[in-house]
Amino acid sequence: MRQILLIISIHLLFSCNRHTDNTKVLQNRIDSLESKLADSYKPGLGEFMSSIQAHHSKLWFAAQNENWKLADFEVHEIMEAIEDIQKFESERKESQMTGMINPALDSINNAIQKKSLALFKSSYSLLTNTCNNCHRITGFDFNVVKIPDSQPFSNQDFRLNEPK
């Protein structure tokens, strides 16, 4: 009986040790994953905004050329960037306010679907005003966006190259 008890306790002692070993290994892996995650690249809000700025400008020239397919593409790029801001910049208080841009984006989408340049122009003003409203209320009022005067990229043709 004594022998059996001794064997059981030795066995328990070993399995307990193995358990602590496993916990240590797991903890080390978690620590190393955490430090890798902390070092991984994540675009900042300003970088997302610079991308939105480019799409905002391209959107204008696509519509001016009545290239509605490109306009549709550009407005969706803005929508994706807004979703990415909510996902990757959730800790910034401004990310909670991105919903304010939705009515303007809906209005742009509607103009594109109707292929109406007149509707597009008023929606685009609404959009641009919304950009600036957010900049104003978040303390970035020195960041003013406007309707662009000239095409942003000389290496892109904004005209539609197929029959309308």
Interface residues toward ligand HEC, by CB under 6 A: 44-46, 49-50, 52-53, 56, 78, 94, 97-98, 100-101, 127, 130-131, 134-135, 138, 140, 143, 145
DSSP state letter for 149:
S
DSSP state letter for 98:
G
Closer CB to ligand HEC, 123 or 130, in the complex? 130
Provide the minimum distance between the beta carbon of 91 and ligand HEC in the complex, in angstroms, as a whole number. 12
Closer CB to ligand HEC, 134 or 160, in the complex? 134
Provide the minimum distance between the beta carbon of 34 and ligand HEC in the complex, in angstroms, as a whole number. 25
Q: Is the dihedral of CA 57, 60, 62, 64 positive or negative?
A: negative
Q: Which residues contact 87 (CB under 8 A, 6 or more apart)?
A: none
Provide the minimum distance between the beta carbon of 14 and ligand HEC in the complex, in angstroms, as a whole number. 56
Nearest in space to 113 (alpha carbons), one of 69, 82, 79, 81: 69
Closer CB to ligand HEC, 45 or 119, in the complex? 45
Closer CB to ligand HEC, 77 or 160, in the complex? 77
Of how many residues is the chain composed?
A: 164
Number of H-type helices and E-type strands within the chain: 5, 0
